[in-house]
Chain A
Amino acid sequence: MKHLEKNVIFGLYDDEEILKSAVIKANEAHLEIMDVYTPFAVHGLDPLLGLKESRLHIGGFVYGLTGTLTAFLGMTWIHTRDWPQIIGGKPYWAILSFVPITFELTVLFASIGMVATFYIINGQGPGVMNPILHPSITDDKFCIAFETGGLDNSEVEKRRNFFNNTGASLVETKTI
């Protein structure tokens, strides 16, 4: 997959409260944020960035349902149609004894499905190399990044000033 190059200007903040204030100010100044990177999940950040809620749980439900049906219908067919056997004097279609495996397969399919979906939609996976703006982001710094491709110098300066005015401890430009 060809990686499209982006020019960004980013600022690092020392604390998540300062980060959130800065995001609010960026919204007020109508500066479109490319992304925010943090070392841990910051509560209250998602609504500020206008992030819609994740729909991963819907996927989880669908995968789980697939598991339920696979297990239950599979066992039903095997024990009633394909090779019915009288086991322990019990009926062929022993619904209650199918429950444990049905439950397990529901959980299994839901989990594997959701985790796989999570990595795919994030663009992550074993050995995937995504561009890192600054190594401190996974340590103790909080980052706001703006795209600068197609912006003239005064716009870039506007963003640089924004970072300086909101308390960023570091401002840098990078091509990723």
Chain B
Amino acid sequence: MGSGISSPIREPLVQGHKTYHQITEDLCSPTERAPSRAWTLAFIVALSALTFGVICILITIWVGIGTWRLNRTIGWGWDITNFVWWIGIGHAGTLISAILLLFRQKWRTGVNRAAEAMTIFAVICAALFPAIHVGRIWVTFFFFPYPNTRGPVWPNFNSPLLWDLFAISTYFTVSLLFWYTGLVPDFATVRDRAKGFRRKLYNTLSFGWTGAAKHWQRHEALSLVLAGLATPLVLSVHTIVSFDFATSVIPGWHTTIFPPYFVAGAIFSGFAMVLTLMIITRKVLNLQDYITIGHIESMNKIILVTGTIVGVAYLTELFIAWYSGYVYEQFAFFNRALGPYWWAYFGMMTCNVLSPQIFWSKKIRRNVTITFLMSIFVNIGMWFERFVIIATTLARDYLPSSWSFYVPSIVEIGIFIGTLGIFFTCYLIFVRIAPVVAIAEIKHILKSSGDQYVNANAQTTFQQIETGNMELEVAGHDTHDGHDHH
């Protein structure tokens, strides 16, 4: 790191021969201009979806969980499917910020800020479901262990449902802190360009950041430790979510493969959502120089790997069901493929296992349109995966006389649409207020990864000055008399 020459064969991560000032300009200006028509339209759509969702939630709370058409034996339907889906989507942000930081992958800087923001919004959407699916939302304070006069009565700390509560709360808090810590210097950058009301706003948001060397040193140390903490955290959160199923006794649920399978699936769906949003964002905000095709290719590679892991997990489940000789497990998978929800199973298999395999081709990995379509498929496929795990298994468990069928009600569908509304509304607001790409981090990697510094153009700073690639003003000289560089 630093200003030296980096590998001449690496692809540049910042294109366009940017200077530090240009980086500031490019990345701050979306927050300074008036919202575009595209933004306003998207915001109206998202807000409408949010409103519809809020109405459905109010109906749920007022009338009751009966509006969800859950029944015996299907106690969990779209609610927990959506919960796990949203938590999975949230995992990409932490992976990009934390795990890729520990692996020193500089390409994370193009996407980490937006991905972390997505994590926070996705966790908000996810946390909604445990809160409202209990029915009597006004007594949910029971979940939290606080000293009380009712015994004191405590929650059951041996239950994965409570582990989930702690895991999601911690995940939300740590992600928020990590995201905000990185945002503070960038808010300071926006602050120092702002006037009037915006200046006051960013003054508050930037916490008085000055850029002092000691503060940067602490900032780096803090980011590193938070990354080190967030990495096992993200692995543990989805593991604990998988325990909601794995610690039960239901065939098809009670398997030890669930923790790694769920974590890989979460990363898989998370990266797909990051790609969906990043492809749109880079087009609309003209950030192709910062979110390059190389970034998209790297993310596609991760999608390929995690999608394959998920595929291997599916095959493992099938194999073990056969190998175990346990008739109920065998039936569980027979039922998934050929039972009443077979269409969901085949949707899941196609979208999750077959379709990411096209990313073995480098040409396809670097194709933006195909990537965008694939990211949508993967998100749909991962939703089906959770639906298959929950609804098909519960519809056909141990006792045939209890078998039932489940169809979501309009209220449940509405709540899901509402969470999409919450997610996109929050993301659109984020794009207006904060720089979508981490400004200070991009500047940090400019010398090692900017396109004027890598490949055949690799030059140290002083060479850059000598060849005139970099202009410098010198105090005491008047440089406004026209350019005399070649």
A contact residues vs B (CB 8 Å cutoff):
11, 14-18, 35-46, 49, 51, 53-54, 56-57, 60, 64, 74-75, 78-79, 82-83, 85, 87-88, 90, 94, 97-98, 100-101, 103-105, 107-108, 110-112, 114-115, 118-119, 121-133, 135-140, 143, 163-164, 167-171
Contact = CB atoms under 8 A, between A and B. Distances in A.
Interface in B209-257: 209-222, 225-226, 229-230, 232-233, 236, 240, 243
Contacts of B214: 35, 51
Contact of A41 (B169, B209, B210, B444): B444
B213 A45 contact: yes
Contacts of A123: 208
A100 B163 contact: yes
B24 A139 contact: yes
Contacts of A163: 475
A56 B154 contact: no
Contacts of B232: 103, 107
Given A97-B157, A138-B188, A169-B475, A128 B208 contact: yes
Nearest to A67: B170
B1 interface: yes
A142 to B, nearest CB: 9
B400 interface: no
Given A41-B440, A46-B217, A57-B221, A132 B154 contact: no
Contacts of A130: 208-210
B203 A54 contact: no
B472 A103 contact: no
Contacts of A38: 211, 213, 216
Contacts of A60: 225, 229
13 contacts: A15-B472, A37-B212, A41-B220, A41-B444, A79-B158, A85-B156, A104-B170, A111-B177, A112-B177, A126-B205, A128-B207, A135-B192, A138-B185
B20 A39 contact: yes
A100 B167 contact: yes
A101 B162 contact: yes
B9 interface: no
Given A14-B470, A108-B170, A139-B189, 17 more contacts: A17-B460, A38-B211, A39-B185, A39-B189, A40-B440, A46-B217, A53-B221, A57-B225, A87-B156, A97-B158, A111-B226, A115-B177, A119-B207, A126-B204, A135-B193, A138-B189, A140-B23
B226 A129 contact: no
Contact of A56 (B24, B159, B222): B222
Interface of B: 1-3, 19-21, 23-24, 145, 151-154, 156-160, 162-163, 166-167, 169-170, 173-174, 177-178, 181, 184-185, 188-189, 191-193, 203-205, 207-222, 225-226, 229-230, 232-233, 236, 240, 243, 440-441, 443-444, 460-462, 465, 470, 472-476
A31 to B, nearest CB: 16
B215 to A, nearest CB: 5
A114 B240 CA distance: 25
Nearest to A170: B475
Contact of A39 (B157, B203, B443): B443
Contacts of A39: 20, 24, 185, 189, 211, 440, 443
Contact of A127 (B160, B203, B461): B203
B240 A129 contact: no
B170 A75 contact: no
B158 A90 contact: yes
Nearest to A33: B213
Given A38-B216, A41-B444, A100-B163, A168 B221 contact: no
B208 A100 contact: no
Contact of A140 (B3, B20, B210, B460): B20
Nearest to A131: B210
Nearest to B193: A135
B222 A129 contact: no
A43 B189 contact: no
A130 B216 CA distance: 15
B352 to A, nearest CB: 27
A91 to B, nearest CB: 10
A111 B461 contact: no
Contacts of B203: 127, 129
Contacts of A108: 166, 169-170, 173-174
A35 B210 CA distance: 11
Report which residue of B19, B158, B240, B470 has the largest number of chain A beta carbons within 10 angstroms of its beta carbon. Answer: B158
Nearest to B215: A122
Given A40-B443, A45-B213, A125-B208, A100 B473 contact: no
Contacts of A100: 160, 163, 166-167, 236, 240, 243
Contacts of A164: 475-476
Nearest to B164: A100
B365 to A, nearest CB: 30
B439 to A, nearest CB: 8
B229 A94 contact: no
B174 A107 contact: yes
Given A125-B208, A139-B20, A140-B21, A114 B225 contact: yes
